[in-house]
Amino acid sequence: MTKKLLICGSLIFFSFNLSFAQKATEVEEAVNKLTQLMITPDSLALNKLILNNLSYGHSSGKIQTKQEFMHSLLSGESDFVDINLTDQTIVVQNKTALVRHTLSAKTNDKNIPGNVKLYILLIWEKEKSGWKLLGRQAVKVP
């Protein structure tokens, strides 16, 4: 009996870890897609990846809605030339995922070259069609 319980417990633990790893991989794919869309914006793809009630916080304290964030990327007001993400962690809890990473980027905002290094927190929500961005907050790396 004890052996059966141990085997069942191990299978449940393995299934849970496999499910978590799969969810974390799906979230990581969504993060990578967002990163590519920030470099090469596409309105239809951005619209599908971002929830309508997005809260997008910048390190300056500026907060944007979905429409404002998309407009800044599509207009070139916010122009990412290259983005590198490091030290990424993903925590999945039910249908919510928290992603933290360090973002280092080359920018060309309003045709002015620059570099940024930020700590980022992304909040993703799982929907039938996949993981969608709900929130983002950035702070400057000291």
- Looking only at the bridges linking them, the beta strands covering 50-57 and 130-140 are parallel
Evaluate whether the domain defined by 24-140 bears CATH number 3.10.450.50: yes
Instruction: Tell me 71's DSSP state.
Output: H
Q: Write out the chain's pLDDT in tens, 142 residues.
A: 666 655 655 555 554 544 546 678 999 999 999 999 999 999 999 999 999 999 999 999 999 999 999 999 999 999 999 999 999 999 999 999 999 999 999 999 988 999 999 999 999 999 999 999 999 999 999 8
Distance from C-alpha of 4 to C-alpha of 87, rounded to nearest angstrom:
40
Q: What is the pLDDT of residue 18?
A: 45
Coil, helix or strand at residue 44: helix
In sign, the C-alpha dihedral spanning 80, 84, 88, 90 is positive
Instruction: Report d(CA 30, CA 50) in Å as an integer.
Output: 10
Q: What pLDDT is stored for residue 13 in this prediction?
A: 55
Residue 43 dihedral angles phi and psi, to the nearest 5°: -60, -40
**pTM, rounded to two decimals:** 0.84
> Which pLDDT score, from 0 to 100, does residue 114 have?
95
